[in-house]
Chains A and B, each alone.
Chain A
Amino acid sequence: MNIIERFEKIDRRIIFLLVLFAVIIPLLFPIGFEIKVSAPVQKFYDAIEALPPGSMVLVSSEYDPSTMPEVYPMNQALARHCFAKDLKIIGMGLWPQGIPLNQASMEQAAEEYGKEYGVDYVNLGYKAGGIVVISSAAENIPKTFPLDYTGRPIGEFEIMKGVRNFDNIDFIISLSAGDPGVREWIMIAQGRYGKKVACGVTAVSAPAFYPYLNAGQLQGLIGGMKGAAEYETILETSGTASRGMDAQSIAHGLIIFFILFANFFYLLGKRRKK
């Protein structure tokens, strides 16, 4: 068996092991690669920066624990940014498992910035129905969400006084890992009601939303862990996304090497067979 045949029959577990090392070693011994901020993330940041203090930001969480490494750091960074700017957050979700994650992000940021539940932020919880929930909330938020996520009437909360429908919402953020998610927010909130919508999505779905960003239907886009790390960089904070970027870069480099290496030996083997 020559070297080409050996490489063609390489045990895939060796590749798994190398990828594992490529991820673990940079996590244990950080390198500190520079994180450059891309235009879609900068646009997102600028859009939040442009909001005057006291503005209402609706953060809808359409993700679950399986996509936490990508979307949760965005959720944390955005909550911090909103509270740092004295913006008020109304949380909700079209995915039930996103609700506690959104709440944890807001609570953590609230503690850091001295914000109070019911005054500076509230969590309206989950409602089944996807796009119909958005339409309903656009017309009447208290009717769609009469109770918060703990079961308390939303009329009790100072933040909800005067909030009737989307006319009282200044900015909408959808943190989404699938459907229902960003597309529904674009269709109803942006398309029908002309609201400003921005999104944070998993890397898998990010390419699908660039056209919406270019068309002006989205105010900004954070894509995957890389996007979250960029947002943390703008905020000058170090979160889990930034910490994972060294591992991400090394693993990507390794995969690029695998692709080139495999193609080289594939072509070499093809030429020899001729």
Chain B
Amino acid sequence: MIETLGIWIAALLTLCILSFLYKDNPFYKFAEHLFVGVSAAYWAVYSYFNILLPNLIQPLFGQGQFLLIIPLVLGIMMIMRLFPKVGWMSRWPLAFIVGSYSGYHLITYLQSNAVEQVRATLVPFVQIESWKNLFTGPGVITFLNAIAIPVVIVGVITGIIYFFFSKEHKGVFGGLARIGVWFLMIAFGASFGYTVMARISLLIGRMYFLLHNWLHLI
């Protein structure tokens, strides 16, 4: 019974939200405000019972871990942002977060997101195996595999050239920058294609819910 009621509420709210596609209306506004309110309440309750209570309040006041006064004070200082006169106090915990996070992150981030990516782009410059495959079994796939790494390298270099603004984009340099723009456009196109796929997937998810769970048509 409760499950059926939940499905009906979810279905009606889905229709309320989708009604915005026709035009803005009170049903959409109601669903939107309800969502914002419920989300805020959910996060407030969840944060208190799952983060503040087990990590700060219980250990500090129940087990006497007085070192936790430091994060408590930093947390209170952060809330001072809400009061303009003492808003400057929030800069201290923010500085602490930025500093500690940067220090913690820096090396690992560079290693995983820069060094490894550069290595993977440049090494090996030519994959002997894929060229062998091309000559032994010529075809579109083997050809694409063979030229994959050189194309990536050309794309990276010309892409970087496009973003090099200390020299005017003229002559050979300008030509390379234009090639870089083509690579960027292809990348944006691929990314947009994936975005379309994601949005359609979400629509399919909702329609599947309405047709399967609510109306039992499929």
The answer to whether A216 and B201 have CB atoms under 8 Å apart is no
- What 1/0 flags go to A61-91 for Cβ under 8 Å of B? 0000011111000000000000000000000
The answer to whether B217 and A96 have CB atoms under 8 Å apart is no
Question: How far, in whole Å, are A23 and B113 apart by their CA atoms in the complex?
Answer: 38
Stretch at the interface among B62-70, B170-178, B188-196: B188-196
The answer to whether B50 and A126 have CB atoms under 8 Å apart is yes
In this assembly, does A225 line the interface, its C-beta being within 8 Å of a C-beta of chain B? Answer: yes
CB distance from B37 to the nearest CB of A (A): 17
In this assembly, does A196 line the interface, its C-beta being within 8 Å of a C-beta of chain B? Answer: no
Contacts of B22 in A (CB 8 A): 13
CB distance from B138 to the nearest CB of A (A): 20
- Chain B interface residue count: which class? 35 or more
The answer to whether B211 and A28 have CB atoms under 8 Å apart is yes
Contacts of B196 in A (CB 8 A): 252, 255
CB distance from A179 to the nearest CB of B (A): 12
Question: How far, in whole Å, are A180 and B134 apart by their CA atoms in the complex?
Answer: 41
Interface residues of A in 18-36 (CB under 8 A from B): 19-20, 23-24, 27-28
Interface residues of A in 37-74 (CB under 8 A from B): 66-70
Interface residues of B in 154-203 (CB under 8 A from A): 187, 190-191, 194-198, 200-203
Closest A-chain residue to B105, C-beta based? Answer: A131
Question: How far, in whole Å, are A199 and B195 apart by their CA atoms in the complex?
Answer: 18
| B195 partner, pick from A13, A68, A204, beta carbons under 8 A | A204
Closest B-chain residue to A29, C-beta based? Answer: B218
Contacts of B211 in A (CB 8 A): 24, 27-28
The answer to whether B203 and A19 have CB atoms under 8 Å apart is yes
Question: How far, in whole Å, are A58 and B151 apart by their CA atoms in the complex?
Answer: 36
In this assembly, does A247 line the interface, its C-beta being within 8 Å of a C-beta of chain B? Answer: yes
Given A192-B108, A217-B112, does the pair A23, B203 have CB atoms closer than 8 Å?
Answer: yes
The answer to whether B208 and A243 have CB atoms under 8 Å apart is yes
| A27 partner, pick from B109, B197, B208, beta carbons under 8 A | B208
Question: How far, in whole Å, are A62 and B111 apart by their CA atoms in the complex?
Answer: 23
Question: How far, in whole Å, are A28 and B195 apart by their CA atoms in the complex?
Answer: 25
Question: How far, in whole Å, are A226 and B198 apart by their CA atoms in the complex?
Answer: 9
- What 1/0 flags go to A7-22 for Cβ under 8 Å of B? 0000001001001100
In this assembly, does B204 line the interface, its C-beta being within 8 Å of a C-beta of chain A? Answer: yes
In this assembly, does A4 line the interface, its C-beta being within 8 Å of a C-beta of chain B? Answer: no
In this assembly, does B25 line the interface, its C-beta being within 8 Å of a C-beta of chain A? Answer: no
The answer to whether B201 and A244 have CB atoms under 8 Å apart is yes
The answer to whether B205 and A69 have CB atoms under 8 Å apart is yes
Contacts of B3 in A (CB 8 A): none
CB distance from B185 to the nearest CB of A (A): 14
Number of A interface residues in the complex (CB < 8 A): 47
Contacts of B206 in A (CB 8 A): 69
Question: How far, in whole Å, are A206 and B108 apart by their CA atoms in the complex?
Answer: 22
In this assembly, does B21 line the interface, its C-beta being within 8 Å of a C-beta of chain A? Answer: yes
- What 1/0 flags go to A122-156 for Cβ under 8 Å of B? 00001010011000000000000000000000000
Given A24-B207, A28-B218, A96-B50, does the pair A225, B197 have CB atoms closer than 8 Å?
Answer: yes
Contacts of A67 in B (CB 8 A): 202
Question: How far, in whole Å, are A198 and B50 apart by their CA atoms in the complex?
Answer: 28
Question: How far, in whole Å, are A87 and B105 apart by their CA atoms in the complex?
Answer: 33
In this assembly, does B117 line the interface, its C-beta being within 8 Å of a C-beta of chain A? Answer: yes
The answer to whether B112 and A203 have CB atoms under 8 Å apart is no
In this assembly, does B119 line the interface, its C-beta being within 8 Å of a C-beta of chain A? Answer: yes
Given A27-B211, A28-B211, A240-B208, does the pair A128, B51 have CB atoms closer than 8 Å?
Answer: yes
In this assembly, does B116 line the interface, its C-beta being within 8 Å of a C-beta of chain A? Answer: yes
In this assembly, does B46 line the interface, its C-beta being within 8 Å of a C-beta of chain A? Answer: yes
Question: How far, in whole Å, are A3 and B208 apart by their CA atoms in the complex?
Answer: 37
CB distance from B43 to the nearest CB of A (A): 9
The answer to whether B208 and A244 have CB atoms under 8 Å apart is yes
Contacts of A220 in B (CB 8 A): none
In this assembly, does B58 line the interface, its C-beta being within 8 Å of a C-beta of chain A? Answer: no
Contacts of B102 in A (CB 8 A): none
Question: How far, in whole Å, are A247 and B211 apart by their CA atoms in the complex?
Answer: 13
Closest B-chain residue to A213, C-beta based? Answer: B120
Interface residues of A in 149-169 (CB under 8 A from B): none
Question: How far, in whole Å, are A186 and B200 apart by their CA atoms in the complex?
Answer: 28
Closest 9 A/B residue pairs (Cβ):
A69-B205, A215-B120, A203-B198, A225-B201, A244-B204, A203-B197, A191-B112, A204-B198, A187-B112
* Sample of 16 further A-B pairs with CB below 8 A, known A19-B200, A96-B46: A16-B21, A27-B211, A28-B217, A66-B202, A67-B202, A131-B105, A190-B112, A191-B111, A203-B194, A211-B117, A214-B120, A217-B116, A224-B198, A224-B201, A225-B204, A252-B200
